[in-house]
């Protein structure tokens, strides 16, 4: 299977579904989670990205999310994000499922986005559950809800929490109904997102993977291309 063949499959497909992970934003300068310089090499997820950690020490959790908001606020979408916008403009049915919380797909101009793990630019009240946009950088270390005064938390799916059911269902529908699935910059180690590729394959989709390195999903893809997302994704158009 060659890149040329993948391009022609993508060009003629009626339905395309994309799955992205931290690797697509690595080319914008945002750290990934696993790799040699990944966030989970230097920080313990149990201390920062679980409901228990927030209950124990909300200030520390907010400090970490403030630090990440500060980094992300200075970054821009790269050629790979932009290429996906063009792909969406050309395809009849197009869905972009992302595990990223950085908002760069939206900033680039993608429209049909399912954010599986939430959005770092939203906050949720732990009392009244209201979700609001919030772009303050930095936020106070114990931010409170303007409506009810409850403690705000990042609108992010933490380890041990369930994904939004509607977003997850729509994502599965999108992979089950696509002709081509392109998986970009994810280690494929986090569930339930890791079940999306098998679901696409089981329904006969042609799967293309773009990743800096081979992953455990690579052998199941029709084509696995190793390289930087910003270099490879534009070539798929
Ligand atoms: P990971 O950090 O697990 O994986 C990033 C993947 O991107 C790796 O397979 C890298 O080889 C690849 N990669 C790195 N740089 C790249 C580049 N320039 N071009 C292409 N590929 C590149 O990130 P995710 O798979 O997204 O959850 O992690 C999934 C979830 O785990 C995240 O959404 C996050 C984390 O815990 C939450 O925050 C809820």
Pocket test for ligand 1, best of 79, 186, 229 (most atoms within 8 A of CB): 186
Range of the domain at 171: 3-29+77-117+163-236
Q: Which helix (H) or strand (E) holds 24?
A: helix 22-26
- Does 211 lie in the same domain as 196? yes
pLDDT tier at 53, thresholds 50, 70, 90: very high
| Catalytic residue (one of 117, 144, 155, 216) | 117
| CATH of residue 130 | 3.30.1600.10
**Neighbouring C-beta atoms of residue 40, cutoff 10 Å:** 14
Q: Can you tell me the distance from the alpha carbon of 98 to that of 145, in angstroms, rounded to the nearest whole number?
A: 27
CB 229 within 8 A of CB 27: yes
Q: Can you tell me the distance from the alpha carbon of 104 to that of 117, in angstroms, rounded to the nearest whole number?
A: 14
Number of domains, the chain: 2
Q: Which atom of ligand 1 is nearest to 193's Cα? A: 29
**Neighbouring C-beta atoms of residue 32, cutoff 10 Å:** 21
Q: Is the CB of 108 under 6 A from ligand 1?
A: no
Q: Is the CB of 58 under 6 A from ligand 1?
A: no
| pLDDT, tens digit, 9 for 90 and up, residues 134-188 | 999 989 889 999 999 999 999 999 999 999 999 999 999 999 999 999 999 999 9
Res 42 pLDDT > 90: no
- Does 209 lie in the same domain as 182? yes
Pocket test for ligand 1, best of 30, 31, 35, 65 (most atoms within 8 A of CB): 35
pTM equals: 0.97
- Does 229 lie in the same domain as 147? no
Q: Can you tell me the distance from the alpha carbon of 37 to that of 33, in angstroms, rounded to the nearest whole number?
A: 8
**Neighbouring C-beta atoms of residue 15, cutoff 10 Å:** 17
């Amino acid at each position: 299977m060659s890149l040329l063949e993948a391009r022609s499959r993508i060009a003629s497909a009626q339905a395309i579904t994309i799955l992205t992970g931290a690797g697509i934003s690595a080319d914008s300068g945002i750290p990934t989670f696993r790799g040699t310089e990944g966030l989970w090499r230097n920080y313990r997820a149990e201390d920062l990205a679980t409901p228990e950690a927030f209950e124990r020490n909300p200030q520390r959790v907010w400090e970490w999310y403030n630090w990440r908001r500060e980094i992300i606020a200075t970054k821009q979408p790269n050629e790979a994000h932009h290429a996906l916008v063009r792909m969406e403009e050309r395809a009849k049915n197009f869905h972009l499922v992302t595990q990223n919380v950085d908002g760069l797909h939206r900033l680039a101009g993608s429209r049909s986005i399912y954010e599986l793990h939430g959005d770092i630019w939203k906050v949720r009240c732990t009392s009244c559950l209201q979700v609001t946009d919030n772009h303050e950088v930095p936020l106070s270390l114990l931010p409170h809800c303007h409506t009810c005064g409850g403690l705000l938390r990042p609108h992010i799916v933490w380890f041990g929490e369930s994904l939004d059911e509607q977003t997850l269902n729509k994502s599965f529908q999108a992979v089950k109904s696509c002709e081509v699935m392109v998986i970009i910059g994810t280690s494929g180690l986090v569930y339930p997102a890791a079940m999306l590729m098998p679901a696409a394959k089981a329904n006969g989709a042609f799967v293309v993977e773009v990743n800096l390195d081979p992953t455990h999903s690579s052998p199941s893809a029709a084509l696995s291309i190793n390289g930087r997302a910003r270099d490879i994704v534009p070539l798929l158009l």
